[in-house]
Amino acid sequence: MLRLEHLSCGYGAIRAVEDLSIDVPAGSVLALLGPNGAGKTSAIMAIMGHVTIHSGRIVFDHQDITRVAAVMRPRLGIALVPEGRRLFSDLTVEENLTVGGYTRTRSQDRACRARVYDLLPLLFERRRQMAGSMSGGEQQMLAMGRALMAEPRLMLVDELSLGLMPKMVDLCFAALERLRQEGLTIVLVEQSTARALDIAQSVCVLVSGSVAFYGPAASARANPALFESFLGATAERSEAVT
């Protein structure tokens, strides 16, 4: 579904990611891990078309989209759940969902909204509530729901669990797992390496913009030294507590 071929990208002359090559089969989850500043978000934003591509290619569903305008990528079937959620705080839950489905007809919008409410029933209960008055976990669910309104085939999720209570993290990851089972392809940037490895089929670890590890999630789970070397023992211990 997604292939990055020797991708180098960044901001102006600054290269945030260098020579990144990954394959993400349809219906699978790739966990994109690494310390702060490693280039994870830059890679995600390059796939969405918001970061300068210096070299390499982005291939989505056998189509080279490297130079496709960012505004067209959601229409191709790519959606983003951004870090920090970036909701319209002065709009209701339902209105935020409508914004997410702006490329859809009215009947498609209704069908997509029903699917989102089925996956995340809490959003149905809060549908008349202003997004800005929701808790962080509720807002994260809404950010996921808004992305799903575009009926994506590939969903990019940036820091799903950041700042959330453990119960809300469980609910969000349960929703991701259900989406994977339904065939959605997911690239997940996540600070909680243990949770990411539980759901992912493959793992790519970035350090200073370069690939430090790339392989099956099972291999990463069986290699505790991976966390010590690349991700930091302190972070892994804190995840074990939650």
Q: Who's near 77: CB < 8 A, 6+ residues apart? A: 60, 61, 150, 151, 152, 153, 154
Average pLDDT for the chain? 89
Instruction: Please identify, among 151, 166, 198, the residue that sits at the C-terminal boundary of a domain.
Output: 151
Q: Indicate whether 147 and 158 sit together in one domain.
A: no
Rounded distance between C-alpha atoms, residue 89 and residue 118, angstroms? 23
Q: Indicate whether 178 and 73 sit together in one domain.
A: yes
- The band of 228, judged by pLDDT with boundaries at 50, 70 and 90, is low
Could you tell me the pTM of the whole model? 0.88
Q: Indicate whether 167 and 242 sit together in one domain.
A: yes
Pairing mode of beta strands 185-189, 154-158: parallel
Sign of CA pseudo-dihedral 188, 172, 35, 229: negative
Q: Indicate whether 125 and 72 sit together in one domain.
A: no
User: Is the residue at 10 inside a domain?
Assistant: no
| Contact call for residues 231 and 222 (beta carbons, < 8 A) | no
User: Is the residue at 4 inside a domain?
Assistant: no
- The band of 14, judged by pLDDT with boundaries at 50, 70 and 90, is confident
